[in-house]
Amino acid sequence: MKKAYEKPVINPIRIGLSNKLGGKAYFSSRVRTEIDGVSIKELVEKFGSPLFVFSERKLRQQFRRLKQAFETRYPNVEFTWSYKTNYLKAICAILHQEGETAEVVSEFEYEKARRLGIPGHQIIFNGPYKPKEALRIAILEGAKINADTFEELADIEEIAKELGQKVKIGIRINMDTGIQPRWDRFGFNLESGQAEDAVKRIASSEWLELNGLHCHIGTFILEPEAYENEVKKMVNFAYHIEDNYGFKIEYLDIGGGLPSKNRLKGVYLPAEIAVPDVEEYAERITTALLENLRPGDFPKLIIEAGRAIVDEAGYLITTVYATKRLPNGFRGYILDAGVNLLFTAFWYNFKVEVDRHLHGAPEPSILYGPLCMNIDVINDVEYLPPLPRGTKLIISPVGAYNVTQWMQFIRYRPNVVLIGMNGEVDLIREAENIDDIESKERLPERLKLT
Ligand SMILES: Cc1ncc(COP(=O)(O)O)c(C=O)c1O
């Protein structure tokens, strides 16, 4: 067969040399033919491409490592699964089996947790917007509510009055922990005195009782010291409340935010070097607690880690559909998955592995999705040898936030499978079809074409 003519281009080869940290980027080390012993080829033959694949083994390992890191250092810890990070039933069920409670930020997530069999008293209800009806159900079912605004305090007070029952609540606070950007839109600000005003508001009500503090300082926090600062401020504030207002602070919920081994855009170092291990966070957090708590006082430490648990358990298999030379000399690849499925591509440069050994000099390549939109780029510049049509790319870590933030834009969302502890493969979310998408639409009679 005659090959199509392509204008020759000359590119300097920048791959294969050590970078200044001794890291090497030989592409041959990035071949992956299986996930947990199940072949990529078989997975795609059976479930199609693109395909999200989750590893139950990795998920449990990640959770157990986190649990061990904290439980060996502090006697009273609760882990609560951040639903927004990944609320596929199978993923939540595994983490609940491991002992996590549920952390939700909407009535939708609340309902999901309840349907899965989680009782209200094992649900933590956060979030800046909690409709009154959702609050009423959460109160009746005994959920832990962390209030975010003065309006919410007033709503809870009203419900408590209607029910004739005093309600225990926590408040969400925000503070300067030394990192940017500050997540100061959520809860009550500590330094400005707003958080104390919220305490006063609660103290002035016969229907409310304060028993917990919550603070989520941000996400993908690469600086363990920020947590140390957070914990110190939370403990000091808790004792200030106890001494001045007579409430007992039973729990300190330090939110989530621990990073996964992913690579933020603009970060030069590989994740293995740039991202501290979970044990370092645990050490800083628990040391700060033990140094600042009063003797014999061990309030419950609540941890809402999301991405640190699930991100590395998720992969996306995608296939090279076509390739072209771009005007700047780069090689462009069109894949069958784009930012419709990988929303986190806007922030992270994922690891890209291929299903076969490749030949040819690596060249700067851009991985595009199928969307017909200029923003649909998965990885900006990767140095890749030429990828034949049909090559499968295995993109990771993608277990956090993608299967919740994905969009049904232009294309259907694909199958999601879980590889179990013994290598069994289960479909945990079926690919969508036209009926799923159109089932909620209504076409007025007068607009019908046939
Ligand atoms: C209140 C709260 N808790 C927990 C999380 C989970 O965060 P991460 O995935 O960074 O651990 C989030 C995420 O934004 C959050 O808003």
Residue 24 is predicted with a pLDDT of 44
Please indicate, yes or no, whether residues 256 and 340 belong to a single structural domain of this protein.
no
In a domain? residue 155: yes
User: Does residue 172 line the site of ligand 1, with CB under 6 A?
Assistant: no
| Residue 219 to residue 217: CA distance in whole angstroms | 7
- Contact between 265 and 271 under an 8 Å Cβ cutoff? The reply is no
CA-126 nearest atom, ligand 1: 1
In a domain? residue 367: yes
Please indicate, yes or no, whether residues 94 and 228 belong to a single structural domain of this protein.
yes
CA 192 to chain centre: 30
Residue 205 is predicted with a pLDDT of 98
* CB atoms closer than 10 angstroms to residue 24: 11
Nearest to 369 by CA among 50, 85, 86: 50
CA-259 nearest atom, ligand 1: 10
User: Does residue 385 line the site of ligand 1, with CB under 6 A?
Assistant: no
Cα 380–384–390 angle (5° rounding)? 100
Residue 268 is predicted with a pLDDT of 79
| Residue 227 to residue 223: CA distance in whole angstroms | 8
Q: Hey, which residues does 213 pair with through a beta bridge?
A: 171, 252
Please indicate, yes or no, whether residues 316 and 331 belong to a single structural domain of this protein.
yes
User: Does residue 304 line the site of ligand 1, with CB under 6 A?
Assistant: yes
Please indicate, yes or no, whether residues 45 and 139 belong to a single structural domain of this protein.
no
Residue 6 is predicted with a pLDDT of 64
User: Does residue 399 line the site of ligand 1, with CB under 6 A?
Assistant: no
In a domain? residue 447: no
| Residue 84 to residue 310: CA distance in whole angstroms | 11
Please indicate, yes or no, whether residues 338 and 266 belong to a single structural domain of this protein.
no
Counting ligand 1 atoms within 8 A of each CB, the residue from 62, 66, 84 with the most, and so the one to mutate, is 84
CA-172 nearest atom, ligand 1: 1
What is the span of the domain harbouring residue 210? Answer: 57-309
User: Which long-range contacts does 20-27 make (Cβ < 8 Å, 24+ apart)?
Assistant: 21/269, 21/273, 23/269, 23/270, 23/273, 25/383, 27/358, 27/362, 27/383, 27/384, 27/385
Please indicate, yes or no, whether residues 134 and 217 belong to a single structural domain of this protein.
yes
CATH of residue 177: 3.20.20.10
| Residue 144 to residue 167: CA distance in whole angstroms | 10
CATH of residue 384: 2.40.37.10
In a domain? residue 218: yes
In a domain? residue 22: no
In a domain? residue 124: yes
Per-residue pLDDT of the chain (450 residues; tens, 9 = 90+): 676 676 666 665 554 445 555 444 445 568 999 999 999 999 999 999 999 999 999 999 999 999 999 999 999 999 999 999 999 999 999 999 999 999 999 999 999 999 999 999 999 999 999 999 999 999 999 999 999 999 999 999 999 999 999 999 999 999 999 988 888 899 999 999 999 999 999 999 999 999 999 999 999 999 999 999 999 999 999 999 999 999 999 999 999 999 999 999 888 788 989 999 999 999 999 999 999 999 999 999 999 999 999 999 999 999 999 999 999 999 999 999 999 999 999 999 999 999 999 988 889 999 999 999 999 999 888 889 999 999 999 999 999 999 999 999 999 999 999 999 999 999 999 999 999 999 999 999 999 998
Residue 274 is predicted with a pLDDT of 93
Instruction: State which of 268, 289, 309 marks the end of a domain.
Output: 309
In a domain? residue 443: no
| Residue 147 to residue 130: CA distance in whole angstroms | 9
Cα 347–370–427 angle (5° rounding)? 80
Please indicate, yes or no, whether residues 271 and 319 belong to a single structural domain of this protein.
no
- Contact between 208 and 153 under an 8 Å Cβ cutoff? The reply is yes
Please indicate, yes or no, whether residues 192 and 74 belong to a single structural domain of this protein.
yes
Please indicate, yes or no, whether residues 122 and 218 belong to a single structural domain of this protein.
yes
Please indicate, yes or no, whether residues 38 and 66 belong to a single structural domain of this protein.
no
Please indicate, yes or no, whether residues 184 and 82 belong to a single structural domain of this protein.
yes
Counting ligand 1 atoms within 8 A of each CB, the residue from 216, 220, 403 with the most, and so the one to mutate, is 216
pTM attached to this predicted model: 0.94
Please indicate, yes or no, whether residues 127 and 45 belong to a single structural domain of this protein.
no
In a domain? residue 7: no
Query: How large is the C-alpha radius of gyration of the chain?
Result: 25
Counting ligand 1 atoms within 8 A of each CB, the residue from 304, 307, 398 with the most, and so the one to mutate, is 304
DSSP letter for 345, please: G
Quote the number of domains for the chain.
2
| Residue 251 to residue 351: CA distance in whole angstroms | 38
